[in-house]
Amino acid sequence: MLSLFFFILMIPLVLAFANNLGEKKDTLSYQLRMYDMVNAIEMVIQHPICGIGFDMEVYKKVQTMTNLSKYANLNIYDGDMIYERGNTNSLLMLLIQCGLPMSVVYLCILYRQNIFLNRRLFFFVIIISLMSEPLLLGNFFILFFVESFFTILSRSKVYDKVINNNCYI
């Protein structure tokens, strides 16, 4: 019954989102975000295991190697400073920088945080917000990552041996 209520509630939201997307399709912001998404997916395909690393200069170098003629349907030109900026999608940026395996580990550790009680809701809100802002590798999200990492570590047998035997790693 509750799922039916949420489904009915989502219909106007989806219609409003589709209408909003249709209106903004010709704006430069939309075009640049589409370019970021398509270009990021291409970079992930080229470097799926290890990514390209965290250096923004390397990112810009790899980004400039893409050919703008492939994006002819997007109204983007060299004058739009597309090579001077980072990606706007934080999840894709994580995939580009860390590769697929480490991105999955990072997101799993982020999901296992213990600061907020409702993990699923927290993770859902975080994922939705990260799709439009490059925040994932900032200090705020590193806090959740470190907290989750220490929680996982405190449950391990190595941690118990170190604490109980008063020995240091």
pLDDT of 8 higher than 70: yes
How confident is residue 21, by pLDDT bands cut at 50, 70 and 90?
low
Domain total for the chain?
1
On whether the pTM is more than 0.75, the answer is no
User: What does pLDDT average to over the chain?
Assistant: 74
DSSP string of 122-162, one letter each residue: HHHHHHHHHTTS--TTSHHHHHHHHHHHHHHHHTSHHHHHH
Q: Which domain holds residue 157?
A: 2-165
Q: What's residue 70's pLDDT? A: 65
pLDDT of 124 higher than 60: yes
Q: Which two tokens stand for residue 79?
A: 């004058």
Q: What is the pLDDT of residues 52-103, one digit of tens each?
A: 888 778 887 887 776 656 665 666 655 555 666 777 788 888 888 889 999 8
How confident is residue 117, by pLDDT bands cut at 50, 70 and 90?
confident
